[in-house]
Structure 1
Amino acid sequence: MPKSIFWSRTDTAGSEQALLDDRNGLSARGTLLAVDPVPFTARYQVATAADWSASRVEVEAEGTGWMRRVTLERAAGRWRVTTAEQGDLDAALVAAGHHRAGLPGTDDPDRLGDAIDVDLSGSPLFNALPVRRLGLAGTPADMPRRITVAWVLLPGLEVVPAEQIYTGIGPGRVRFASGTFTADIDVDADGYVVRYPGLAERIDPR
């Protein structure tokens, strides 16, 4: 992979590194580490079409005594979702004082039918998919763009449809909104997150 990006989490102890090739759409693999709600490592691979619409995403999350995997593949406007699970994530969550996780994947992939993008919770890389697809990185203030994403929740890997709004608010600035949450994200000329308030900051090599 010709590019590498590294982020430090600011909402919890953790980090993410992505290795990627974006010369014709995006092909990337990455590793995300976090300690909340339980310590876990997530490894992902993502591929998009040339227009940056997601075509395949695979995520594997693992912690003490458990492992889960989900794969999303999009073809002919429909998503196919497959999962695998070992161990007991719920036991780890309950022991840490948290609620049980949902089942990995979704019981009805057709609920994701309107989703063109995939979002992985806690990962700043995945914001680049709609930013690039909608051409928001270098534009002046623009109209809000309302999209539906297939949202992969960590660490349980449940997949749910989620409505998000992206608005270009000037070169290098994008406003993200979902429900009552809003954040003004700094991005570089290629659409990758530089600073996501309350989530992550990019660490560039000196």
Structure 2
Amino acid sequence: MAVLSAGLFWERRDVPGSEHVRLNAENGLYAQGTALAAGPVAFACHYEVQTDPGWVTVEVDVRTEGAGWARGVRLELAAGRWRVTTSEQGDLDAALVAAGHARAGLPGIEDPDLLYGAFDVDVSGSPLTNTLPIHRLRLLDSEVGVSHRLSVAWVLVPSLEVVQADQIYTPLGDNRVRFASETFAADLTVDDDGFVIDYPGLARRITPGPGSS
């Protein structure tokens, strides 16, 4: 396993919380991260992300845990198809209902073939995973204003339900990339390596990037 020689830290803006990740990006990306958030219920999220040298995501392991519950989901890409395995302990729904929220979906996805053609995984609330398509598509070197539509495996946190999602990334120049879905858009500020510095309304990084001295 590569030495995790770089670290990034974000402060959440939507709810009290933070995210810390250690990573190595010398030959693709390998990252280990932990996110803490106070909503919709207080939880910790631990994840590992592995890409191939071309930054196609090949393996993601996500675990969430809170008072009285814990969940896990693992996604592995092989021969263009995703294999999804899950685990569940305790009762997340009870915690959500007690906090005034709707019940969560089950972890994982009923039909992994719905993810066919997805080369990126998006862990909701994590600015790290926005870097995956930005780097894979070389968006900082792409023509400004030209949109790139892609299919992703979207991991909802804290439920760890996995859904297929269509997303659009558009380079804007000056290290800015517009991220959009059917109902949402945000202009991300990134460093020269494509790692998010500012995600309006979600998180702002408070550490230098991997290439910083």
Taking structure 2 as the reference length, the TM-score comes to 0.94
> What are the equivalent positions in structure 2 for 1:26-105 lying under 5 Å apart?
26-105=29-108
Q: Which amino acid aligns with 1:161?
A: Q
Tell which deviates more after alignment, 136-145 or 100-109.
136-145
Q: Which amino acid aligns with 2:91?
A: D
Report the counterpart of residue 117 of structure 1 in structure 2: 120
Matched residue SS, 2:140 = coil
Q: Which amino acid aligns with 2:26?
A: R
Matched residue SS, 2:102 = coil
Q: Find the partner of 1:167 among 167, 170, 190.
A: 170
Residue by residue over 1:58-82, the C-alpha shift from the partner in whole angstroms, topping out at 9 and shown as x without a partner, is 0000000000000000000000000
Q: Which amino acid aligns with 1:50?
A: P
Residue by residue over 1:65-110, the C-alpha shift from the partner in whole angstroms, topping out at 9 and shown as x without a partner, is 0000000000000000000000000000000000000000011100
Q: Find the partner of 1:181 among 181, 184, 189.
A: 184
Matched residue SS, 1:110 = helix
Q: CA contact under 8 A between 1:139 and 1:170: conserved in structure 2?
A: no
Using the TM superposition, give the Cα deviation of residue 142 of structure 1 relative to its aligned residue in structure 2, in angstroms: 3.8
Q: Find the partner of 1:203 among 202, 206, 209.
A: 206
Q: Which amino acid aligns with 2:58?
A: S
Distance 1:156 1:175 in 2: 26
Report the counterpart of residue 160 of structure 2 in structure 1: 157
Q: Which amino acid aligns with 1:26?
A: L
**Cα RMSD over matched residues?**
0.9
Distance 1:90 1:137 in 2: 41
Using the TM superposition, give the Cα deviation of residue 137 of structure 1 relative to its aligned residue in structure 2, in angstroms: 2.5
Using the TM superposition, give the Cα deviation of residue 139 of structure 1 relative to its aligned residue in structure 2, in angstroms: 4.2
Using the TM superposition, give the Cα deviation of residue 138 of structure 1 relative to its aligned residue in structure 2, in angstroms: 4.4
Distance 1:114 1:124 in 2: 22
Structure 2 residues not aligned, in runs of 5+: 209-213
Q: Which amino acid aligns with 1:193?
A: V
Residue by residue over 1:117-152, the C-alpha shift from the partner in whole angstroms, topping out at 9 and shown as x without a partner, is 000000000000000001013445141000000000
Using the TM superposition, give the Cα deviation of residue 114 of structure 1 relative to its aligned residue in structure 2, in angstroms: 1.9
Identity level (%): 59
Q: Which amino acid aligns with 1:149?
A: V
Residue correspondences, number: 205
Q: Which amino acid aligns with 2:29?
A: L
Distance 1:32 1:204 in 2: 15
